[in-house]
Amino acid sequence: MRRVHKKDDAPVRDASVLMLFGRGQAPRTLAGRREQDRLERLGVADVDVLLLQRSAKLRHHPNQVAFPGGGRDPEDADEIAAALREAEEETGLDPDGVEVVGTLDPLYIPVSSFEVTPVLAWWQNPSNVWVVDHGESSRVYRVPVADLVAPENRGTFTAPDRSYRTPAFDVGVLRVWGFTAALLEFALEEMGWARDWDRAAQIDIEL
């Protein structure tokens, strides 16, 4: 995943996102028998990931699909505590049901001056999730991994001014691009779940 490095004198705030995988959601995309067998062999036929769509009222990244997360508060013991607290505040999940696997290296986000630590976790005991604060989020979804890895749901988003390109996912109920899509692509590749897809295919995103 491409990294952006902050300037030495740039102010920065620590933040975390929760990359939470669990079981329970059936895919929307119809898979052929061979693909279904592959997903079952990998053990991910019913694996999903928790995502939300940010509110249109937010100053940074309005309407963008994201992992639950946010800035670290003084009372947070570490990046993991921050990610779990933010996820509970945004989606209502019970953090006691979450098993943290580990963290990835922090990534700098220039537009918001956050240095974000991705926290990888498994939903051992899933709980109900919903939009807790409509000022923060507009939708909360458990998105099936099978829908994310389907080649027909993958593509590239190119900014209107062509200043940047990112991976993108179109799973019908939402479209993922930018930082979150790059993290998803990295995770799917590292876990051996990804399939080949047409990198020339474009997915349009309404900004």
What whole-number percentage of the chain has pLDDT above 90? 68
- The answer on pLDDT for 127 being more than 90 is yes
Q: Where are the beta strands (DSSP E) in 28-164?
A: 47-54, 65-66, 69-71, 98-103, 107-109, 114-123, 137-144, 154-158
Q: Which residues pair with 50 in a beta bridge?
A: 142
Please give the helix or strand (H or E) that residue 80 lies within, else none: helix 79-91
Q: What is the pLDDT of residues 7-39, one digit of tens each?
A: 556 678 899 999 999 998 778 777 778 888 888
Sorted by where each starts, the structural domains of the chain and their CATH numbers stand as: 13-191 (3.90.79.10)
| Strands 13-23 vs 114-123: parallel, antiparallel or unpaired | parallel
Question: When comparing pLDDT for 5 and 22, which is higher?
Answer: 22
pTM equals 0.90
- The answer on pLDDT for 44 being more than 50 is yes
Residue-level pLDDT at 4:
47
How sure is the predictor about 3, in pLDDT bands with cuts at 50, 70 and 90?
A: very low
Reduced to 3 states, what is the DSSP secondary structure of residue 189? helix
Question: When comparing pLDDT for 75 and 111, which is higher?
Answer: 75
Lowest mean pLDDT among 4-13, 79-88, 125-134, 159-168: 4-13
Residue-level pLDDT at 170:
96
How far is Cα 201 from Cα 150, in angstroms, rounded to an integer? 13
Q: Where are the beta strands (DSSP E) in the chain?
A: 13-23, 47-54, 65-66, 69-71, 98-103, 107-109, 114-123, 137-144, 154-158, 165-170, 175-177
Which whole number is the average pLDDT over 192-203? Answer: 94
How far is Cα 197 from Cα 114, in angstroms, rounded to an integer? 31
Chain center to CA of 9? 29
Question: When comparing pLDDT for 79 and 112, which is higher?
Answer: 79
Question: When comparing pLDDT for 161 and 101, which is higher?
Answer: 101
Question: When comparing pLDDT for 162 and 182, which is higher?
Answer: 182
Calculate the dihedral angle through the C-alpha atoms of 34, 40, 44, 45, rounding to the nearest 10 degrees.
70
Q: Which tokens in the block code for residue 143? A: 């998105």
Lowest mean pLDDT among 77-86, 105-114, 187-196: 105-114
For residues 21 and 49, the answer to whether their CB atoms sit within 8 Å is: yes
Which whole number is the average pLDDT over 130-144? Answer: 93
Q: What angle do CA 113, 114, 116 make, to 5 degrees?
A: 155
